[in-house]
């Protein structure tokens, strides 16, 4: 079966972007749940600026989009991205990360994001 192909240079750029444990996990999580920065801060036990900077990189190549909801900015995977078919195939090889959000839920730290 035929699969959408992406230029090798752009693909290398994408893989480098996803070649970071934090960003890769973010994308895996975002594939099933939208999230805001403060949730990622909790999940990754990382400073807020560090998280913002990772998110920005994902936004810059268009694989993540944002919506403001009150004081929060909700991030989501952009499933219209030219890269999404590849990302989707990639993510299938990763173990589910739902436990991370569940932990937040139990601590009452989950935001209204859905």
Q: Is 90 left (phi over 0), alpha (psi -120 to 50) or beta?
A: alpha
Contact stretch for a second copy (CB under 8 A) within 50-58, 65-73, 82-90, 104-112: 82-90
Sole binder of a second copy in the list 72, 81, 85, 109 (CB under 8 A) = 85
Q: Among a second copy, DNA, none, what binds residue 72 when CB lies within 5 to 8 Å by partner kind?
A: DNA
Q: Which one of 1-9, 45-53, 70-78, 103-111 is the stretch in contact with a second copy (CB under 8 A)?
A: 1-9
Tokens of 11: 């693909």
Question: Cα-flanking dihedrals φ and ψ of residue 69, to 5°?
Answer: -130, 100
For a second copy, which residue of 25, 52, 76, 81 counts as binding (CB under 8 A)?
A: 25
Contact between 6 and a second copy per CB under 8 A: yes
Instruction: Compute CA distances 45 → 93, 103, 108, 111, whole Å.
Output: 24, 13, 16, 17
């Amino acid at each position: 079966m035929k699969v959408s192909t992406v230029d090798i240079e752009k693909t290398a750029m994408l893989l480098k972007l996803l070649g970071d444990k934090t960003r890769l996990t973010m994308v895996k999580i975002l594939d099933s749940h939208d999230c805001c920065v403060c949730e990622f801060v909790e999940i990754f036990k990382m400073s807020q600026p560090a998280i913002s900077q990772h998110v920005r990189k994902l936004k810059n190549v268009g694989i993540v989009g944002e919506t403001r909801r009150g004081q929060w900015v909700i991030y989501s995977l952009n499933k219209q991205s030219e890269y999404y078919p590849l990302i989707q195939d990639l993510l299938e090889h990763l173990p589910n990360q739902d436990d991370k959000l569940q932990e937040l839920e139990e601590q009452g730290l989950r935001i209204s994001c859905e």
